[in-house]
Amino acid sequence: MTTRSSFSPVPAHPVVAVAGATGAVGREMLLVLEQLAFPAREVRALSSARSVGTSVPYAGPGAPEGRELPVEEMTPESFEGVDIALFSAGGSVSQRFADAVVRAGAVMIDNSSAFRMDEGVPLVVPEVNPADALTHQGIIANPNCSTIQMVVALAPLHQLLPLKRVIADTYQAASGAGAKGMEELYEQSKALLTGQDWPPQTFAYQIAFNVIPQIDVFLDDGSTKEEWKMVVETQKILHAPEVAVQATCVRVPVLRSHSEAVHVQFDAAELPPLADIRAVLEAAPGIVVVDDPQTLSYPMPIDISGTDAIYVGRLRRDPTVDAGISFWVVADQLRKGAALNAVQIAQLLLPTGQ
């Protein structure tokens, strides 16, 4: 992989390419660019040759008069003149085009897992480690969606008291497997409710009215790659390799937005008052606390899909360990877990004041 020791600063009005623009996350990236009025001078929609001749909606800065972007075939030459390349086209595609992006002088913000654990590639969540983005050598990695929502909640807690151990159980929506995952859940549910059969195609087993305790492939230690990502990515983002992390990742029959039950043990003799912990979360950037048992208020995917924050609730002490708490966290993994986080990283690269 080609790297450079230094890059020209990103201009105030950069040329932005969205690689994988016809996919679920790519379309969401275009929508986020539009909604945040990202100050692009030009936006290019790139995809495979089979999408050439189609267009994708975009009405933000840098949009053509027709408010739709023609889809161009992605080639190594596509990145000439590009300042920021937002990639959501799969790890193999990112690896194939990384050299071309870097040679063109663009910054790749990659949503795949291809470079996340590479030394010298920052893994960035803007609310947590924004300064890391400025250490890039041409590539910045966007973390795994389930990791992003958890570390946004963990970071302010880690500043309050050092973390010792984190256990996470995830309830991940079908859209985590892309548009095909959402379609399979919807169509399979509809078919089963009308007495028809719908054999699994995207998932290993029936997802409608079921939960599948596997996301990604199994590793030698019995964990899945998705669970491994949550461990190593959390440690890298927090710059805390000493924090023990354990995860169990489960696919659930929800169309959009991931949920997680998180159990934290601090490296401390005792906890501060729970009200103080709640106040820290409420004051943290990107977090909305929804937590009132008296009114049955807590975050749920059905309420927060399409939103940008990380929602935290069910905050309580964990009496089974010293200095422990438990909480529930929900976020739209297509927004903050992918597209929004990538665009927020791009915002970090803009000249100060943009």
Distance of alpha carbon 124 from alpha carbon 236, whole angstroms:
9
State the catalytic residue, choosing from 136, 145, 158, 249.
145
Category of 322 on φ-ψ map: left (φ > 0), alpha (ψ -120 to 50) or beta:
beta
> Of 77, 14, 126, nearest to 350 (Cα)?
14
**Do 63 and 40 touch, CB atoms closer than 8 A?**
no
Q: How many whole angstroms separate alpha carbon 123 and alpha carbon 119?
A: 10
| CB atoms closer than 10 angstroms to residue 190 | 12
239 is catalytic: no
289-323 core/surface letters (b: 16 or more CB in 10 A; e: else):
bbbeeeeeebbbbeebbebbbbbbbbbeebeeeeb
Q: Do 79 and 106 contact (CB within 8 A), yes or no?
A: yes
User: Is 249 among the catalytic positions?
Assistant: no
Give the active site residue among 136, 249, 258, 263.
258
Residue 21: both structure tokens together: 């623009």
| CA gap 173, 259 in Å, rounded | 8
Q: Are 169 and 247 in contact (CB under 8 A)?
A: yes
Active site amino acids = 145, 258
